[in-house]
Amino acid sequence: MSVENAPVVDVDEAAIPVEKKMYYRFESNDKKEFRVSELAIQQSETLNRLVEAMGYTSEDVENKPAIAIENIDGKTLKLVFQWCEHHKGEAIPVDDGSVPKIVEIPEFDAKLMDIDNGLLFKLIWAADYLNIVQLLNVSCKKVANMAQGKTPAQLRRVYLLPSDEEDEAAKRAAQEAQDPRAREVEEEFEERKRQGGNSFF
Amino acid sequence: MGLPVFSLPQLILQEIIRQLLPGELVCFSLCSRKSYNAVRLLRNKNIKWEFVVSPGTSARISFWFNEGYIKSNLMGADDIFDAPRNCQIIKIKGNSVPYSMDWYHNLRTFWDDEKHGMRAITEYCSELFDNMDVHTLLPDGPSLLWSLNWVTNRQVTPLENIQLSGDTREIGGREFDRFLREVKVTNDLTICWKPPPNFTFTGRLPRCQNINIRKASWLTIDNLLTMDSVVAHIIGSRLRISQINQFLRAWLNGQCAPRLKFLEIRITGVAMANQYLEGIRERAVLEDGILTFYW
């Protein structure tokens, strides 16, 4: 099944599915609405628990407002639900961590994740937030694959890794933001040193 | 645009780090102090990697899993003269050294003194992976004695395996004698190298689980009688049939090799089983067409 054909339905664009299965309605933080099958939702531990707790009937799903997912935008949520629909019914992998992890990225997932790094970043966040184990696995694998054959200098660019100096500066800035007086004290100390004072006090 | 992994939640960063190969983890750790600490903290510590050191020409260190079922190179230490032009510099254990990536995506570092380089990259990787001890040593000829001495002294845990691999390699008699007397290994000792034709060893073979001698023309009946291993493969032996019979009699009578469970001796030429088994054949029981000896 291609990415384009994945059965996520935007309410305003597509017809309501004819199947009798229950389709839940979700709304992204930019007010995009999606219908997602009950089976697809099982891929997300977070959403699965949520809908179980709500105990909606078919009528509730239609009559009550869509379930809001506050911190994920429509573009990202569409990818998430496309993935869930494509992989619905599949077992959720369990990893005991005792052997080196070998994650294969299926063709569908590879196409789905053929996106810019900004959107990939949001997709990973969403997979984590919604606790979709296998989507998190494949998206992290995509990020890990970026390291293949890269030197440390190239890795710094690929993963936007700050240098030690940048880390130090960021740490200082964070400390100062927490305690504005610290900066004043440091400046005063530097000024006294310039003036040749031996003691700060 | 890159992907800022340090802006991701720690659990996601951990997942990414767990999906990096060991060689990629080493490269990642070399990017900054923060990335070094991230590898130390977040890597999957449940995986029992075997730390394999191969000193000598084209020296490299690698991780094996499940006795080499999965192999992953960590990095190498090469001669400074092999360094490509315009190499970038990296800092390892206080040394600023040029580095490059080879065709197989292995990180190569270049050193004035390759021995020092080998030691430095081994210590770096050992510390990165929670002071992991060297598990297997795969030396070449010139590096044999110094690397054995260095690894034995650098750690409390004895080496599990040593392989002197490469069927065409030769080794000097004095050097080989010293190696056999000094080596301490708990699991597997494989010797494929060929000592001089007149070489004999008057000591005891090292005690280990498995001993595998591929060019065993130097092996004497005394070496065999004093051997203390569970599994022994002796290939290319020049032992006489009467000597092998002597060993088998002693073994079955419990007079030597108390732990030995499996023995393979290959000799050149033809010999009849009756000659080997003279005097012990009556101790065998025929079970499903196989002669089985009990003792």
* One-character DSSP codes across B234-269: EEEE---HHHHHHHHHHHHTTSS-TT--EEEEEESS
Report the pLDDT value the prediction gives residue A175, as an integer from 0 to 100: 83
The Cα of B50 is separated from the nearest Cα of chain A by a number of Å equal to 12
Q: Do B18 and A118 touch (CB under 8 A)?
A: no
Report the pLDDT value the prediction gives residue B273, as an integer from 0 to 100: 75
Whether residue A92 sits in one domain with residue A24: yes
Whether residue A129 sits in one domain with residue A176: no
Residue A8 reports pLDDT greater than 70: no
A76 belongs to a structural domain:
yes
**pLDDT band for position B204 (cuts 50, 70, 90):** very high
> Taking the mean position of all CA atoms in its chain, how far away is CA B132?
15
Whether residue A27 sits in one domain with residue A71: yes
- For testing contact with chain B, the best of A140, A150, A157 (most B CBs within 10 A): A140
Whether residue A18 sits in one domain with residue A114: yes
**pLDDT band for position A5 (cuts 50, 70, 90):** low
Rounded to the nearest 10°, the torsion over CA B284, B289, B290, B293 is -20
A2 belongs to a structural domain:
no
Cβ within 8 Å of residue A34, ≥6 positions away = A8, A9, A10, A11, A25, A26, A27, A28, A77, A78, A81
A45 belongs to a structural domain:
yes
Residue B55 reports pLDDT greater than 60: yes
Phi–psi pair at B135, nearest 5 degrees: -100, -40
Report the pLDDT value the prediction gives residue B67, as an integer from 0 to 100: 81
User: Average pLDDT in the A30-43 region?
Assistant: 95
User: Average pLDDT in the B146-160 region?
Assistant: 94
Whether residue A39 sits in one domain with residue A19: yes
Residue ranges making up the domain that contains A117: 9-152
Q: Are B251 and B257 in contact (CB under 8 A)?
A: yes
Give kind and range of the element (H or E) at residue B114: helix B114-128
Strands in B70-79's sheet, in edge-to-edge order, are: B88-92, B95-101, B107-111, B70-79, B59-65, B50-54, B136-137, B159-164, B185-191, B210-213, B231-237, B262-267
Between helices A117-129 and A133-145, what is the axis angle to 10°?
A: 150
Asked if the ipTM is above 0.85, the reply is no
Report the pLDDT value the prediction gives residue A135, as an integer from 0 to 100: 97
Closest to A117 (Cβ–Cβ): which among B1, B15, B19? Answer: B1
**A96 vs A158, which has greater pLDDT?**
A158
Report the pLDDT value the prediction gives residue A199, as an integer from 0 to 100: 46
Whether residue A62 sits in one domain with residue A40: yes
Q: Are A144 and B5 in contact (CB under 8 A)?
A: no
Report the pLDDT value the prediction gives residue B112, as an integer from 0 to 100: 95
A158 belongs to a structural domain:
no
Structure tokens at B168: 């065409």
Q: Do A121 and B32 touch (CB under 8 A)?
A: no
Q: For chain B, what percent of residues have pLDDT higher than 90? A: 77
Report the pLDDT value the prediction gives residue A201, as an integer from 0 to 100: 41
User: Average pLDDT in the B241-267 region?
Assistant: 91
Residue A84 reports pLDDT greater than 90: yes
Alpha helices in chain A (DSSP H): 38-41, 45-54, 58-63, 74-86, 107-112, 117-129, 133-145, 152-158, 164-178, 180-194
Whether residue A189 sits in one domain with residue A106: no
A132 belongs to a structural domain:
yes
Whether residue A182 sits in one domain with residue A102: no
CATH number of residue A81's parent domain: 3.30.710.10
CA distances from B63 to A4, B44, B137, B212 (A): 42, 14, 12, 23
Cβ within 8 Å of residue A57, ≥6 positions away = none
Report the pLDDT value the prediction gives residue B68, as an integer from 0 to 100: 82
Whether residue A15 sits in one domain with residue A86: yes
DSSP string, B158-177: PEEEEEE--TT-B--HHHHH
Residue B166 reports pLDDT greater than 70: yes
Closest to B12 (Cβ–Cβ): which among A140, A146, A153? Answer: A140
Lowest mean pLDDT across A16-20, B60-64, B153-157: A16-20
A200 belongs to a structural domain:
no
The Cα of A124 is separated from the nearest Cα of chain B by a number of Å equal to 8
Average pLDDT, rounded, for chain A: 85
Phi–psi pair at B71, nearest 5 degrees: -125, 140
Q: Do A101 and B19 touch (CB under 8 A)?
A: yes
pLDDT 10s digits, B39-54 = 999 999 999 999 999 9
Q: Are B22 and B35 in contact (CB under 8 A)?
A: no
A46 belongs to a structural domain:
yes
Nearest to B134 by CA among B146, B145, B147, B144: B147
Residue A12 reports pLDDT greater than 80: no
Q: Do A128 and B6 touch (CB under 8 A)?
A: no
Question: At CB < 8 A and 24+ separation, what contacts does B56-62 make?
Answer: B56/B139, B56/B140, B56/B141, B56/B142, B56/B143, B56/B147, B57/B140, B57/B142, B59/B114, B59/B117, B59/B118, B59/B143, B60/B106, B61/B121, B61/B122, B61/B125, B62/B22
pLDDT 10s digits, B185-203 = 999 999 999 999 999 999 9
Q: Does B18 touch chain A (CB under 8 A)?
A: yes
A-contacting residues in B 63-122 (Cβ below 8 Å):
65-66, 70, 88, 90, 99-101, 105, 107
Average pLDDT, rounded, for chain B: 92
pLDDT 10s digits, A125-153 = 999 999 999 999 999 999 999 999 999 99
The Cα of B33 is separated from the nearest Cα of chain A by a number of Å equal to 6
Whether residue A127 sits in one domain with residue A186: no
Whether residue A42 sits in one domain with residue A62: yes
Q: For chain A, what percent of residues have pLDDT higher than 70? A: 85
**B279 vs B133, which has greater pLDDT?**
B133
Nearest to A69 by CA among A99, A109, A41: A41
User: Average pLDDT in the A29-39 region?
Assistant: 94
Residue B12 reports pLDDT greater than 90: yes
Nearest to A46 by CA among A161, A107, A135: A135
Q: Are A37 and A88 in contact (CB under 8 A)?
A: yes
User: Average pLDDT in the A29-40 region?
Assistant: 94
Q: What is the number of structural domains in chain A?
A: 2
pLDDT 10s digits, B61-114 = 999 998 888 899 999 999 999 999 889 999 999 999 999 998 888 999 999 999
Whether residue A102 sits in one domain with residue A48: yes
Q: How far apart, in whole angstroms, are the C-alpha atoms of residue B194 and residue B200?
A: 12
A4 belongs to a structural domain:
no
